[in-house]
């Protein structure tokens, strides 16, 4: 147990090290495969936008144990409801949520009456929500605008706070988070609602925070490196990542435990749809954001700078010093009698 507790200190002092920067090609390959799967899911399956984005009608009524999705689809289609999506929402107040396309007031009333009659839904037990195409378009436009504004602010902040190569690494990690998180939504088929957009913006802020912490340590370690012959630039970046590794993991765990409780208990057991929309984005985003900072942002920054002439010369001096030290360490051969 004491050895486990000593690991953070040994990582910080450089006594043990995880070669993250030196294996950047492997991390890029893994990241590339995940990104390809995410993009493929987006192109093939697409996103399941909620009624707030695409417009339509939502019918909610108490669940009956004998009702199936097929039964609901047949009733709604026969009433003129067109394409329909029926979902059983579990929890304390289990119910069916039936979503259709945009319906006229008359057809909406017909579908409601058909559902009430077919499944013995009592008076005032069914709620109907209608979202028009204009409202859906406005919500979509506002979501896109919010995401663009956030990214523009991030770019401005990164350009001011860091040198441009650090900004490139941090921004690449953010785009990495967005694509993979959205790809997961496409894979699992969860609805993308306005709450999902809020969760997405939240995880981008979390990912940026983690990246800033790591980059601050990198900047501290590499300050004045031109005059140093102890470590190369890449080794200093790797040391900084190792020194902040335990902190990043601890921060991630502290954040993901309550989010996991919301996702698996609040959404899974209690059936709160809004919590599900928010917590899945947070859960996936926190995991991916932490990994992107460690395995994408920092190695990318090291790669962008390692080819600079001053750093190439500094790396040669480090190698020469080590070669000289190795020669001095070799014991002299005993003289022959």
Following DSSP, what letter does each residue of 12-39 receive, concatenated? Answer: HHTSS---SGGGHHHHHHHHHHHHHHHH
Q: Is residue 302 part of a domain?
A: yes
151 and 258, same domain (yes or no): yes
Q: Is residue 35 part of a domain?
A: yes
Q: Is residue 4 part of a domain?
A: no
- In sequence order, the β-bridge partners of residue 96 are 61, 88
The residue among 89, 108, 129 that closes a domain is 129
Given pLDDT bands bounded at 50, 70 and 90, which one contains residue 47? Answer: confident
Here the CATH number for the domain that contains residue 63 is: 3.30.70.3220
Q: How far apart (Å, rounded) are the C-alpha atoms in residues 61 and 273?
A: 15
Asked if 240 contacts 217 with a C-beta cutoff of 8 angstroms, the reply is: yes
What tokens appear for 12 in the block? 């910080």
The residue among 129, 148, 179 that closes a domain is 129
State the Cα angle at 50 between 45 and 53, rounded to 5°. Answer: 105
80 and 167, same domain (yes or no): no
182 and 227, same domain (yes or no): yes
Q: Is residue 77 part of a domain?
A: yes
219 and 91, same domain (yes or no): no
Given pLDDT bands bounded at 50, 70 and 90, which one contains residue 29? Answer: very high
The rounded mean pLDDT for the chain is 82
Asked if 92 contacts 270 with a C-beta cutoff of 8 angstroms, the reply is: yes
64 and 176, same domain (yes or no): no
77 and 174, same domain (yes or no): no
Asked if 219 contacts 306 with a C-beta cutoff of 8 angstroms, the reply is: no
Instruction: Count Cβ atoms below 10 Å from residue 128 Cβ, excluding itself.
Output: 16
Residue scoring higher pLDDT (4 or 213) = 213
The residue among 86, 106, 129 that closes a domain is 129
149 and 244, same domain (yes or no): yes
pTM: 0.77
213 and 283, same domain (yes or no): yes
pLDDT digits (tens, 9 = 90+) for 113-130: 888 888 888 778 888 887
- Domain count of the fold of the chain: 2
- Tell whether the model's pLDDT for residue 337 goes beyond 50: no
Residue-range definition of the domain harbouring residue 110: 56-129
The predicted pLDDT at position 268 comes to 56
Query: Which residue, 170, 179, 191, is CA-closest to 147?
Result: 179
What percent of the chain lies above the pLDDT cut of 70? 86
Here the CATH number for the domain that contains residue 260 is: 1.20.1640.10
- Tell whether the model's pLDDT for residue 7 goes beyond 80: no
185 and 285, same domain (yes or no): yes
- DSSP secondary structure code for residue 335 in this structure: P
102 and 246, same domain (yes or no): no
């Amino acid at each position: 147990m004491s050895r486990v507790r000593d690991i953070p200190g040994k990582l910080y002092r450089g006594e043990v090290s995880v070669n993250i920067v030196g294996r950047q090609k492997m991390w890029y390959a893994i990241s590339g495969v995940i990104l390809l799967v995410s993009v493929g899911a987006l192109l093939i399956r697409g996103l399941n936008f909620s009624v707030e984005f695409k417009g339509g009608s939502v019918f909610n009524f108490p669940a009956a144990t004998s009702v199936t999705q097929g039964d609901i689809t047949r009733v709604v289609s026969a009433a003129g409801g067109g394409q329909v999506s029926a979902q059983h929402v579990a929890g304390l107040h289990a119910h069916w949520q039936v979503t259709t396309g945009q319906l006229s007031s008359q057809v909406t009333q017909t579908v409601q009456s058909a559902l009430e009659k077919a499944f013995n839904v009592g008076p005032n037990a069914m709620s109907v929500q209608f979202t028009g195409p204009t409202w859906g378009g406005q919500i979509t436009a506002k979501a896109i605008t919010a995401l663009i504004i956030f990214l523009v602010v991030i770019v401005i902040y990164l350009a001011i706070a860091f040198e441009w190569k650090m900004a490139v690494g941090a921004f690449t990690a953010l785009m990495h988070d967005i694509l993979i998180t959205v790809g997961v939504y496409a894979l699992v088929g969860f609805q993308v609602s306005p709450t999902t957009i809020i969760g997405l913006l939240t995880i981008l802020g979390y990912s940026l925070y983690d990246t800033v912490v790591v980059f601050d340590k990198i900047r501290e370690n590499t300050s004045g490196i031109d005059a140093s012959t102890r470590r190369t630039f890449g080794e200093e970046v790797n040391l900084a990542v190792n020194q902040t590794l335990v902190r990043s993991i601890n921060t991630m765990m502290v954040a993901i435990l309550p989010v996991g409780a919301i996702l698996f208990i609040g959404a899974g057991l209690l059936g709160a749809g809004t919590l599900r929309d928010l917590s899945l984005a947070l859960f996936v985003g926190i995991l991916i954001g932490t990994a992107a900072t460690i395995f994408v942002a920092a190695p990318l920054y090291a790669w962008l700078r390692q080819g600079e002439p001053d750093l190439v010369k500094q790396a040669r001096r480090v190698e020469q010093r080590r070669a000289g030290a190795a020669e001095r360490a070799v014991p002299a051969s005993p003289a022959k009698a």
